[in-house]
Amino acid sequence: MDTPDVGELTPPERTLMGPGPSDVPPRVLRAMSTPLVGHLDPAFIDVMDDVQELLRYVFQTDNEYTFPVSGTGSASMEAAFTNLTEPSDTVVVPGNGYFGERMASMVRRAGGEPVVVEAPWGDPLDAEDLAAACAAHDPDLVALVHAETSTGVLQSNFADLAAIARDHGALVVADVVTSLGGVEFRTDEWGVDAAYSAAQKCLSCPPGASPLTLSGRAMDKILDREAPVRSWYLDVSELQEYWGAERAYHHTAPITNVYGLREALRLVAEEGIENCWARHERVAGAIKAGVEGMGLGLNPDPAYWLPTLNAVVLPDGVDDDAVIEYLLEEHAIEVAAGLGSLSGDVLRVGCMGHSARPRKALATVVGLGEAFEAQDADVDVAAGIEAARAALDRTG
Amino acid sequence: MDTPDVGELTPPERTLMGPGPSDVPPRVLRAMSTPLVGHLDPAFIDVMDDVQELLRYVFQTDNEYTFPVSGTGSASMEAAFTNLTEPSDTVVVPGNGYFGERMASMVRRAGGEPVVVEAPWGDPLDAEDLAAACAAHDPDLVALVHAETSTGVLQSNFADLAAIARDHGALVVADVVTSLGGVEFRTDEWGVDAAYSAAQKCLSCPPGASPLTLSGRAMDKILDREAPVRSWYLDVSELQEYWGAERAYHHTAPITNVYGLREALRLVAEEGIENCWARHERVAGAIKAGVEGMGLGLNPDPAYWLPTLNAVVLPDGVDDDAVIEYLLEEHAIEVAAGLGSLSGDVLRVGCMGHSARPRKALATVVGLGEAFEAQDADVDVAAGIEAARAALDRTG
């Protein structure tokens, strides 16, 4: 067969203000160009130790079993569900966004029975509804999304919901894909048994090694399973031999991704996790102020605003694809369309990790304003920009 | 909790002559430090097209469904088994090495029934044994290891075995983890329905995005399944919406790993796949000649010698861990211990990708010789080095 003739890799420059990936800091990119050692090299064992210590810090946990899963965020998500769901287990999942549906699919594939707690897309779950579902179904697991990437909703009463689930004897699984490192989350203090995330959101690392933490209760359940986990690759009872004290071979770790994650987590530790949370809120506040200053709204109620993912309600008559294309072509900024029942109604504007910088928030507000103007929308772009600058204390 | 204080990433330099990862060329490392675009960016779609075209070339296939799985080699392996095994399917797997056992575990977790064709570790499978197993068990799948990383055995009659399996109506799955790009393998010509590999062996790319190719027959089986695939993350019927014509979101691809894989595959295309195969054989031939020149042997029969993984039989009284440690500390060379029934009897010396260079083969022979001398083994190191040099046409 013919030999392919493929040119040099020359992707365009982008500012990544979508739902992920976010921009990657130069130090992390440099870490990813480090020559490799083997995945069982004593030097790599040290790197593993570092990454685990750093992950415990960003998860705010003392859990021993805290490590990166060898895949992108959906791999750590499935690791949580496929290990913690035994055949015929009942698992409560949220019905208010795209990722609750994915949870249900993973639960079913693991042999479990999902029970959906409904709320409209764009609203958070209601504590009473969760309590009713727990009372009615006596679930083995309760899975909750802390930060819904599809709707921009922060489940801001997360600790209360976790307490309800634990009161009913369920293990609590937390999706913190779009919040870990960007919005306050406290695994141990909030009584969470399993939490998973991705590298490419608030941690600003390329995707490929994805944080997972498991409490002692969660590990007990996994190690006491009768039926084997339905995935060999994601079987925590085997993975723990590599990421636990033994450091025995299971599969080859994604060495370069672990290097990158280590550096990304180091940056969080250098800044301080509380400072990271505060920066995300401040910078995203400028996007929020800018959008509102133009005369537009964000989707959720302010009480549930998720700084890391802003669901901007589109002006009447404005086409989302046209806005996305304009921003990409004229400003080299990536934002994304709405998903599911919000498709066509909102734009998803992320503000995560190294993308959560004042200059990028301002550029995004300017770009959004111009994109709306280009479609003759009734927006006050100048007022939006001034509101964003004021939110950042940039105005004189 | 305390903020971790973790220092700069400073792994030592290594020459990777173990069973993988292999050394990564500077061009691939540089590709992995490229700033990211989004996984749905039009520019990334072009990168996906390139990677798929290049993968078809290294697999020697026209299969449309040829793409990298978002994980390390065991993820592409499990993708093959969990998609192609339906509950109560019968799957023939080889019993002559470590990776046949892993296949059996994956098949069982998918709900299938593995049937093992036995051969001693260090021997290839026998065609008559496979034919007998097919006749007795009427398997739905026959899985074969082309290059056994645990034993250094090349299943050199692979095409014949595949023909036997197909004659019995089975789909043929090929493990080419340690051969793709390093040893002749022809997916279409040899009648293979599914083949999977890893990035970090003969392709010299950091692990994290792992080649998989599926024939039309294999895709028909997957798309006609009654029971859903037991992994959401690895479900090809959903993955094909991203890697197929639609390019619709499934999960976030490991963008940086795909960048690296593209560059690594470009290097193979530039060299030419046949030239790559020839280089591996020539350079590994120097390791083989060096070891034999010292008075030692390789494990398998020469007819089944696998250039990419050389199972060096240890001299009497020599401790494998001491040799491994000496090579790492004195020569910065990584080699590995034997696995399973060969543990303690052999060293596994890889020769793959960018590690398959004459200077690295010579350094390995010198290092091995010194490590054996350090344990007072009865070896003729000078003769080994001269034999290795001669094999490379380096002697005057």
ipTM of the complex as predicted = 0.97
**Which of the four pLDDT bands, split at 50, 70 and 90, describes residue B43?**
very high
**Which of the four pLDDT bands, split at 50, 70 and 90, describes residue B396?**
low
Chain B residue numbers touching A256 (CB-CB < 8 A) = 32, 206-208, 256-257, 260
Q: At what angle do helices B216-223 and B73-84 cross, to 10 degrees?
A: 60
Exposure string over B132-144, b if 16+ CB within 10 A, otherwise e: ebbeebebbbbbb
Q: How many helices (H) and strands (E) does chain B have?
A: 13, 14
- Mean of the per-residue pLDDT values of chain A: 97
Q: Are B44 and B38 in contact (CB under 8 A)?
A: yes
Chain B residue numbers touching A37 (CB-CB < 8 A) = 11-12, 14, 16, 334
Q: Are A141 and A171 in contact (CB under 8 A)?
A: yes
How far apart are alpha carbons B123 and B304 in whole angstroms?
8
How far apart are alpha carbons A205 and A182 in whole angstroms?
13
DSSP letters, A241-309, are: HHHSTT---SS---HHHHHHHHHHHHHHHHH-HHHHHHHHHHHHHHHHHHHHHTT--BSS-GGGB-TTE
Tell me the two tokens of residue A12.
Answer: 């365009």
Using alpha carbons, select from B301, B305, B294, B291 the residue that is nearest to residue B361: B291
Using alpha carbons, select from A366, A350, A361, A355 the residue that is nearest to residue A393: A361
How far apart are alpha carbons A50 and B68 in whole angstroms?
29
CB contact under 8 A, B37 and A23: no
- Mean of the per-residue pLDDT values of chain B: 97
Closest CA–CA distance from residue A396 to any residue of chain B (Å): 34
Closest CA–CA distance from residue B384 to any residue of chain A (Å): 27
Tell me the two tokens of residue B361.
Answer: 């083969």
Cis peptide leading into residue B21 (ω within 30°): yes
**Which of the four pLDDT bands, split at 50, 70 and 90, describes residue A302?**
confident
HSE on the CB side for B334, CA within 13 Å? 22
Tell whether A49 is within 8 A of chain B (Cβ): no
Flag whether pLDDT at B105 surpasses 70.
yes
Q: Are A255 and B207 in contact (CB under 8 A)?
A: yes
Parallel, antiparallel, or unpaired: how do β-strands B346-350 and B309-313 relate? Answer: antiparallel
3-state secondary structure A109-159: HCCCEEEEECCCCCCCCCHHHHHHHHHHHCCCEEEEECEECCCCEECCCHH
Q: Are B183 and B175 in contact (CB under 8 A)?
A: no
Q: Which residue is listed with tokens 């479900």?
A: B235
Flag whether pLDDT at A396 surpasses 80.
no
3-state secondary structure A198-216: CCCCCCCCCCCCEEEEECH
Test mutation, A59, A200, A232, chain B, max B CBs within 10 A:
A232
pLDDT value at position A341?
87
Nearest-by-Cβ selection for B21 from A34, A36, A260: A36
- pTM, rounded to two decimals: 0.98
Percent of chain B residues past pLDDT 70, beyond the cut: 100
Q: Is pLDDT larger for residue B395 or for residue A19? A: A19
Flag whether pLDDT at B347 surpasses 70.
yes
B35: left (phi over 0), alpha (psi -120 to 50) or beta: beta
What pLDDT digit, counting tens, does each position of B207-250 carry?
999 999 999 999 999 999 999 999 999 999 999 999 998 899 99
Question: Residues B266, B270, B276, B278: what is their CA dihedral angle, to the nearest 10 degrees?
Answer: 170
How far apart are alpha carbons B343 and A258 in whole angstroms?
29
Flag whether pLDDT at B367 surpasses 80.
yes
The kind and range of the H/E element at A337 are strand A336-337
pLDDT value at position B365?
98
Q: Helix, strand, or coil here: A78? A: helix
Instruction: Classify residue B316 by burial, with Cβ atoms within 10 Å: 0-12, 13-18, 19+.
Output: exposed
Closest CA–CA distance from residue B50 to any residue of chain A (Å): 7
Tell whether A207 is within 8 A of chain B (Cβ): yes
Mean pLDDT, residues A321-339 taken together: 97
How far apart are alpha carbons B92 and B103 in whole angstroms?
9
**Which of the four pLDDT bands, split at 50, 70 and 90, describes residue A298?**
very high
What pLDDT digit, counting tens, does each position of A137-177 carry?
999 999 999 999 999 999 999 999 999 999 999 999 999 99
Nearest-by-Cβ selection for B233 from A42, A71, A208: A71
pLDDT value at position A24?
98
How far apart are alpha carbons B202 and B282 in whole angstroms?
14
The kind and range of the H/E element at A57 are helix A42-59
What pLDDT digit, counting tens, does each position of B121-162 carry?
999 999 999 999 999 999 999 999 999 999 999 999 999 999
Exposure string over A45-65, b if 16+ CB within 10 A, otherwise e: eebbebbbbbbbbbbbbebbb
Q: Are B21 and A256 in contact (CB under 8 A)?
A: no
How far apart are alpha carbons B14 and A93 in whole angstroms?
47
Parallel, antiparallel, or unpaired: how do β-strands B194-196 and B210-214 relate? Answer: antiparallel
The kind and range of the H/E element at A42 are helix A42-59
DSSP letters, B183-215, are: S---TTTTT-SEEE--SSSTT---SSSEEEEE-
Mean pLDDT, residues A193-203 taken together: 98
Cis peptide leading into residue A21 (ω within 30°): yes
